[in-house]
Amino acid sequence: MTKGEKMVRIQIGDRVIDAAKGASLMEVLVSAGVLLRSDCGGRGRCGKCLVQVDERGRRALSPPEDPERLILGADGLAAGRRLSCGARVLDDLRLEIPESSRVTPEVVQKGLPILLPRLQASSPPRQPASPSGYGIAVDLGTTTIAVYLCRPGDRAVVGSTSIRNPQAIFGDDVVNRISAVQTAADGLARLQKLAVSAIDWAVGALCRRLAIDPSGIGAAVVVGNSTMIHLLLGEDPSTIGVFPYAPRFTEAQTRSGGSLGLGFNPGVRLRTLPLISGYLGADLIGAALAADLASLPPGTLLVDVGTNGEIILRTGDGFAATSCATGPALEGAAIQHGMQATSGAVDAVRLRPLDGCLDFTVIQRDAGRHQPPAGICGSGVISAVAELLRGGAITRSGSYAADFASPCLVEGPNGTRAFEIVPGRQARGGIPIVLTQADVRAVQLAKGALRTGIALLCRENDIPRPSGILLAGAFGSYIQQADALRIGLFPEMPAEDIRVVGNAAGVGAVLALHDDARFDDAQALAAQTRVFDLGAHPDFQNTFIENLSF
């Protein structure tokens, strides 16, 4: 607040928030700890940062502009609905925030990774980590941050927790995060502070739970995609967003906690694993270390499916890797009723042959607090598309079949069709949860990009098809292999040849925390990896088009 700046008051229930007149409503709420969904990064496109204002409140906010009018319509605006990203606060107001607009306090729990037993079974460290006491391993994901509290001396993980990455208010993908750095003078500092604060919170929560003094944590190892590593270290990632998409550095980095603003122990020695390129990051290196990819047969493929699909192939003489823009659809974002895999999310469906509608299952993390269906997560989207393909409701071209008879295949706005997954009477808020034609197209584009990346990477290395696929990441931990194969996410192969390895990136960070020699392994792996530019391949366009069909 500057001297003479006029302040206004925002009331939410019993809480009052002071704000500078003219400030963005979303920025004010986020700064006050009220996190809203913002899948589009505050650009007024996703419509998920909805708030409700009374008659006076409508006059206390700036008039809606065209993007907001388009999403909310005249009826929505007349009912007092506004998008917080498009409204500026001009006077005192009272507002309500629907539950569906809030970032849930629950996050996708990455938990103790599937590959963690490899740590206990591995040989003693070649170069034991020097600090005594405790250390932390951090998987700094674009959506979720996982923190593992470890005792390097006896190679033990004593606790773990996950927290939603608060940078998500700037958008669900790295492109939006880079844009936030470029469009605001303090964008980089704000994004860094959000990441640092989240790690501090997670460490504090673990230490309180386990009665550990955080000042005894002497070492930290962090993995993440190239943009997330840059943001944590306070390095401008703008060069990753433009051709030739080069990061400012690729080598492993070392910083003191104090230089980054970490409060739990300013003297902690923080290191990051190396990067391969702008879109092949330390998380892929960590996952390859954890899976011991170097010892697996040529033809083995490690795939980390997220907003950006990262693929690394074991070849006869090293590794080849590429990235593909799968987009956020496979994680439930960019889907009309998409959400994270938290309580209330539909995660699987089955078609009922008698009436052509769907049975569904809903994630319930707290057995004592049942949550009604609120949306559909990434695995639920894949399940729905796969099941509707099996039943004939969706054609190979991705359209809803005109001759499919079902009361759940409904007419949407502008004559488009949608399939009702959850009836309104069962859904939170009374609004039916549907899979729209646009949602199906988003899945097609995502699966086409990933399948094209796999196909061309294998073709360039004279491998007819992968001998096995290791599926890493939070999304890969939830989908069913049979559903992924049915929509064509992966080449035709036995389902048992696709192995889910969970949060392999987190295991890689744990391994490096316990054994300094893993940094040498990581650097060697990065040096032996040939980066394959998917978009520049002459067959990319044709192969992508071929892989769009189901």
Helix (H, G, I), strand (E, B) or coil at 106: coil
**What pLDDT shows up at residue 420?**
97
Which strands form 156-164's sheet, in the order they lie side by side? 156-164, 144-151, 134-140, 217-224, 269-272, 253-256
The average pLDDT across 227-251 equals 96
**What pLDDT shows up at residue 216?**
92
Report the alpha-carbon angle 510-512-514, nearest 5.
Answer: 70
Q: Does the CA dihedral 360-366-368-373 come out positive or negative? A: negative
**What pLDDT shows up at residue 24?**
86
Q: What does the CA dihedral 41, 42, 48, 51 come to, rounded to 10 degrees?
A: 150
**What pLDDT shows up at residue 536?**
87
Residues 108 and 353: their CA atoms lie apart, in Å, by 32
Cis peptide before 244 (omega within 30 of 0): yes
Beta strand pairing call for 50-53 and 15-20: unpaired
**What pLDDT shows up at residue 39?**
66
| Lowest-pLDDT range of 15-29, 372-386, 417-431, 506-520 | 15-29
- Name residues whose C-beta falls within 8 Å of residue 69's C-beta, 6 or more positions apart in sequence: 77
Most confident of 38-42, 110-114, 197-201: 197-201
Check: CB of residue 276 under 8 Å from CB of residue 531.
Answer: yes
Check: CB of residue 167 under 8 Å from CB of residue 140.
Answer: no
**Each residue's pLDDT tens digit, 56-69:** 888 899 999 988 99
Instruction: Find where tokens 């707290």 sit.
Output: 366
Check: CB of residue 80 under 8 Å from CB of residue 54.
Answer: yes
Check: CB of residue 62 under 8 Å from CB of residue 36.
Answer: no
**What pLDDT shows up at residue 463?**
94
**What pLDDT shows up at residue 273?**
98
Closest CA to 514 of 224, 116, 110: 116
Q: Which CA distances in Å does 111 have to 20, 150, 271, 273?
A: 40, 14, 22, 21
Q: Confidence band (pLDDT; 50, 70, 90) for 459? A: very high
Residue 500's DSSP bridge partners are: 471
**What pLDDT shows up at residue 340?**
78
Q: How many residues does the chain have?
A: 550
Structure tokens belonging to residue 216: 């005894």
The average pLDDT across 449-454 equals 95
**What pLDDT shows up at residue 12?**
92
**What pLDDT shows up at residue 129?**
64
Q: Which CA distances in Å does 54 have to 61, 100, 312, 489?
A: 11, 19, 53, 47
**What pLDDT shows up at residue 110?**
57
Q: Confidence band (pLDDT; 50, 70, 90) for 5? A: low
Neighbours of 13 (CB within 10 A): 9
Helices (H), 461-516: 473-476, 481-486, 504-514
Closest CA to 169 of 197, 147, 201: 197
| CA-based end-to-end distance of the chain | 55
Whole-model pTM? Answer: 0.81
The average pLDDT across 232-244 equals 95
Phi, psi of 292 (to 5 degrees): 55, 50
Classify residue 355 as exposed, middle or buried by CB count within 10 Å of its CB (0-12, 13-18, 19+).
exposed
Q: How far is CA 496 from the centre of its chain?
A: 26
Residues 136 and 270: their CA atoms lie apart, in Å, by 9
Q: Considering the chain, what percentage of its residues have pLDDT values greater than 70?
A: 91
Check: CB of residue 2 under 8 Å from CB of residue 13.
Answer: no
**Each residue's pLDDT tens digit, 298-341:** 999 999 887 788 999 999 999 999 999 887 667 666 788 988 77
What is the DSSP annotation of 157-173? EEEEEEEE-GGGGG-SS
**Each residue's pLDDT tens digit, 477-529:** 778 899 999 999 999 999 999 998 888 999 999 999 999 999 999 999 999 99
**For residue 312, what is the enclosing H or E element?**
strand 309-315
Check: CB of residue 220 under 8 Å from CB of residue 233.
Answer: no
Q: Which domains does the chain have, with CATH numbers?
A: 7-101 (3.10.20.30), 104-328+447-550 (3.30.420.480), 329-442 (no CATH)
Closest CA to 266 of 200, 206, 209: 200
Residues 85 and 48: their CA atoms lie apart, in Å, by 10
